[in-house]
């Protein structure tokens, strides 16, 4: 007698409240009875969690639903995508096979302008602005990690990778976009760390250096460039960027690309960074990684130490 197939959606509704899914998805903000929407720019709180944490309503758009619909909205797919997402997190058996459907396109980022590689002059100016080597800028452009664009006539730089699953846009002049530092880019999947795509062609001996924030990724790649050229660095690393300490989830494809590798975390030296380091150490060890953490001086981040940190201090094994 065959066992009845497990109902993933029913199990999810039993195990997860909206706040649990919010955290697993790595969404910004705090789920409360009155809060800002994690799905769009929301200057004034118009989103609410209700029904003992099992329901949500966006009062500006009229959208709502339970935890399953919340996950579907967050990952930008259909219920088949939600099922795959749940299978990776609650370990249930796959549902009975069904006729194959055409694969869904990945959630698309809504770019506010055309992305360009820029010119040598642009690279030189950007290197001077960020205090990094022009050769490191050139390497980032060639690796599809760095791009440039204009938003309302303002020059900006974009940190992403060839998958275009996640990205962050900042102004070249260092000024914030109103309240947030980065442009409020829609369609970003924060469970994907920019730079991860390059692991597809990297041997399993390549380590993963995870920075907290996209701007620290610039510092990490610059230091790695120096490590390889000036200090005879033999161990290979791939720097990637977690888009904020509040990100808690790891994309299923990223899990397979990172599984079993040596990972080094470089959190900001603040309470949020401490929480980030503890969470990601546990998550990564569960997928077979060895993990260590770089402890920076209090109230600093990696960029603060770009001019004083020796690359061997960051990349030696």
For residue 62, give the CATH number of its domain: 3.90.580.10
Q: Compute the average pLDDT of residues 150-169.
A: 96
Give the domain range for residue 26. 8-90
Q: How many CB atoms lie within 10 A of CB 242?
A: 27
Q: List strand residue ranges (DSSP E) for the chain, in order.
A: 47-50, 55-58, 64-65, 146-151, 154-159, 168-171, 207-212, 237-242, 262-266, 290-293
- Domain assignment present for residue 255? The answer is yes
At 40 the three-state DSSP class reads coil
What pLDDT shows up at residue 98? 43
**Is 40 in contact with 76 (CB distance < 8 Å)?**
no
pLDDT band at residue 107 under the 50/70/90 scheme: low
CATH number of the CATH domain containing 286: 3.40.1360.10
* Same-domain pairing of 152 and 297: yes
Q: How far is CA 189 from CA 75, 252, 254, 295, 297, in A?
A: 7, 12, 12, 27, 30
What pLDDT shows up at residue 150? 96
pLDDT band at residue 92 under the 50/70/90 scheme: very low
Residue 93 has pLDDT above 60, yes or no: no
Q: Which residue is associated with the tokens 């100016």? A: 125
Residue 281 has pLDDT above 80, yes or no: yes
What pLDDT shows up at residue 4? 39
* Same-domain pairing of 69 and 141: no
What pLDDT shows up at residue 91? 56
Residue 225 has pLDDT above 60, yes or no: yes
* Same-domain pairing of 137 and 284: yes
Percent of the chain with pLDDT over 90: 65
| Choice among 77-86, 134-143, 173-182, 299-308 with the minimum mean pLDDT | 77-86
- Distance, CA of 278 to CA of 270 (rounded, Å): 13
- Domain assignment present for residue 109? The answer is no
What pLDDT shows up at residue 6? 53
Q: Compute the average pLDDT of residues 140-163.
A: 96
| Choice among 54-68, 74-88, 228-242 with the minimum mean pLDDT | 74-88
- Domain assignment present for residue 251? The answer is yes
* Same-domain pairing of 162 and 202: yes
Residue 3 has pLDDT above 80, yes or no: no
């Amino acid at each position: 007698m065959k066992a009845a197939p497990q109902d993933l959606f029913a199990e999810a509704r039993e195990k997860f409240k909206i706040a649990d899914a919010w955290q697993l998805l790595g969404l910004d903000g705090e789920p409360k009875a009155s809060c800002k929407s994690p799905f769009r720019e929301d200057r004034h709180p118009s989103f609410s969690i209700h029904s003992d944490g099992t329901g949500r309503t966006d009062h500006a758009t009229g959208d709502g639903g339970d935890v399953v619909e919340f996950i579907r909205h967050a990952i930008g797919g259909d219920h088949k995508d939600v099922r795959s997402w749940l299978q990776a997190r609650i370990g249930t058996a796959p549902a009975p096979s069904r006729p194959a459907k055409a694969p869904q396109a990945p959630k698309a980022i809504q770019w506010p302008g055309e992305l360009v590689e820029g010119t040598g002059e642009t690279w030189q100016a950007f290197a001077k602005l960020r205090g990094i080597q022009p050769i490191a800028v050139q390497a980032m452009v060639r690796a599809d990690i760095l791009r440039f664009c204009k938003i309302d006539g303002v020059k900006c730089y974009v940190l992403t990778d060839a998958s275009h699953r996640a990205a962050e846009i900042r102004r070249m002049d260092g000024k914030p976009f109103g309240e947030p530092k980065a442009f409020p880019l829609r369609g970003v999947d924060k469970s994907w760390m920019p730079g991860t795509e390059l692991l597809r062609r990297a041997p399993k001996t390549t380590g993963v250096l995870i920075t907290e924030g996209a701007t620290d990724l610039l510092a990490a790649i610059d230091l790695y460039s120096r490590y390889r050229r000036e200090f005879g660095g033999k161990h290979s690393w791939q720097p990637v960027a977690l888009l904020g300490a509040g990100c808690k989830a790891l994309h299923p494809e990223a899990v397979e690309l990172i599984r079993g590798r040596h990972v080094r975390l470089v959190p900001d030296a603040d309470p949020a960074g401490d929480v980030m380091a503890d969470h990601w150490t546990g998550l990564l060890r569960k997928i077979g990684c060895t993990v260590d953490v770089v402890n920076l001086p209090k109230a600093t981040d990696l960029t603060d130490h770009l001019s004083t940190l020796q690359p061997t201090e960051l990349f030696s094994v």
